[in-house]
Chains A and B, each alone.
Chain A
Amino acid sequence: MIVVEKQKRLQKTALNKGLNWLLPVLCMGGLILLWEYWIGDSLKFVLPRPSLIFNQFIQQIHLLLNNAYITIFEAFVGLAIGTVIGVLFSIGFVYSKGFAKSVYPYALILRSLPLMAILPILTSLMGPGYTSKITLIALASFFPVLINMVQGLTAINKTTIELMQSLNASKSEIFWKVRLPSSLPYLFTSLKITGSGAIVAAIISEYMYAVNGLGALMVSFMFGSRLLDLWATLLASTILSLLVYILIVFLEKILIPWGKHIKEG
């Protein structure tokens, strides 16, 4: 008797799971349809119809791609440099307290400088080319990586280390076999922040000093009163950052199959 009732509930939960992705998709689709047919052309100087935006996106795809390459290039190189330096520094922090104590206050100051303030300085030092933008992105991604990696490298059970020591493992063996693998989830936590952060930093720096890249494209469309193109570029940058996010999640799944994925926060 009860088993039958519970079985019914079981089927319900299966349906529920399907609704988990169906509902948001329906909701989003409904909004877009409303926008397309209900708002329609009545607000076309603010909200052009989605079909027009999409059409424009397809037509301008070459221009958008060419500029997206530049933004991606800046973001990725900056992110890579910032991550590598952040990881190296975190290792230094964990193994030398003196190093940590002398560097950390300056890292804190660096973090509290707003991006908008650093870029004019960098630009006056390095010129308005790629170097200043990449440096900015590296600086922006350095700090979250540092903080998360220090946490990751130290977040090991004391007993695990004692076990390794009892097996007569050397310091470097403990590092490669215990500390580094167990810090990887923390690295990816920070990459999820810095990944989209790098795109943001790239776009902002292109707003300020650039002729190429999605940010620069948006500025020129803005001044050129090309609303449809502006919407299309916005769409492109959204897709781009989602792709970056998906890429990082994908890498995380491959590199950390044991899957102790840490919640962001």
Chain B
Amino acid sequence: MASVVLKNVSKLFIINNEPFQALKDISFEIGEQEFVSIIGPSGCGKSTILRLIGGLLFPDEGEIDVCGMSPTEARKNRMYSFVFQDAVLFPWRSVIQNVQLPMEINQKFDKKASHKKATELLKLVGLSGFEEASPNQLSGGMRHRVALARALMSSPPLIFMDEPFAALDEITRDRMNLELLRIWSETKSSIVFVTHSIEEAVFLSDRVIVLSTRPGEKVADIKIDLPRPRKLELKQNEESFVYSNEIRKLLASVTQKAAEQTGMNNLP
């Protein structure tokens, strides 16, 4: 059974009084315990897809099904959690209180159990000993670990990650990628991962969905057939180069087309 199904989804925005087709006729499925990346040029509506699946935005056309429910119901039933580009930690809470936030918002909040689980999760993300620290005292990578622990708190079948490591430096990002894979292998969640980085997408994913821009359309759905568990050396591997190059070519042709279109529109 697929955990997420999108059928002919379209979304229109109005920007500066101009209608703007963010997504057009998008269809795909995400299976259980699958790691799927969405990649595309900036402004192609990658993040919009996540927000549509998460029920934070609503499609103008098409259907979305999350774990057999509508996105809003799925949200109410805690079927997913979000990780954003910014870690979004509340500085007025300690690290462990930040991690416990999803539980507090839950109606039936068991203080002891949630504290125990948060401690375990912090251990899982490698932040044991920082439970009582203030988020202000953490480095960028550590803040993202906390955000990840918070996302795992409700043990959701789905995790949506919106360019989570985009603001980190390359070295930290590599390590966070490895950590993410390790943590993912210990949970049973599917991950939908939006990114700018081709290498990151290939390294992490089971499948990579490539989007075009203006309008955002699905260009390709590429299965990444690389062995797991994955190690950093894989990034230098011949096979992953093949995948990266394929995606790079696709993206290049997509941006080329977009540039031609806007270029033509700009001609007198």
Contacts and interface: CB of A to CB of B under 8 A. Distances in A.
| A–B contact at 8 Å CB threshold (below) | yes
Interface of A: 2-3, 5-7, 9-10, 13
B12 A10 contact: no
Interface of B: 10, 12, 14, 17, 19, 60-61
Contacts of A9: 14
Nearest to B20: A6
11 contacts: A2-B10, A2-B60, A2-B61, A3-B19, A5-B60, A6-B60, A7-B19, A9-B14, A10-B19, A13-B14, A13-B17
A131 to B, nearest CB: 49
A6 B12 CA distance: 8
Contacts of A7: 19
B195 to A, nearest CB: 28
Given A6-B12, A6-B19, A10-B19, 5 more contacts: A3-B19, A5-B60, A10-B14, A10-B17, A13-B14
Contacts of B60: 2, 5-6
A16 to B, nearest CB: 12
Contacts of B10: 2
B14 A3 contact: no
Nearest to A3: B19
Nearest to A7: B19
B14 to A, nearest CB: 6
A105 to B, nearest CB: 28
Main secondary structure of the interface of A (DSSP, over half): helix
A7 to B, nearest CB: 7
A202 to B, nearest CB: 42
Nearest to B17: A10
B12 A3 contact: yes
A9 B60 CA distance: 13
A3 B61 CA distance: 11
Contacts of A13: 14, 17
A7 B60 CA distance: 13
Contacts of B17: 10, 13
A38 to B, nearest CB: 42
Nearest to B10: A2
Contacts of B19: 3, 6-7, 10
Contacts of B61: 2
Contacts of B12: 2-3, 6
A191 B181 CA distance: 55
Nearest to B61: A2
B48 to A, nearest CB: 15
A13 B19 CA distance: 13
B261 to A, nearest CB: 18
Contacts of A3: 12, 19
A217 to B, nearest CB: 50
B9 to A, nearest CB: 12
The 8 closest A-B pairs by CB, nearest first: A2-B60, A2-B12, A6-B19, A6-B12, A3-B19, A6-B14, A10-B14, A10-B17
B31 to A, nearest CB: 30
B135 to A, nearest CB: 23
Nearest to A4: B19
A6 B61 CA distance: 13
A2 B19 CA distance: 10
B11 to A, nearest CB: 9
Contacts of A10: 14, 17, 19
Contacts of A6: 12, 14, 19, 60
B46 to A, nearest CB: 21
A9 B17 CA distance: 10
A197 B60 CA distance: 52
A9 B61 CA distance: 17
A9 B215 CA distance: 21
B267 to A, nearest CB: 24
A251 to B, nearest CB: 29
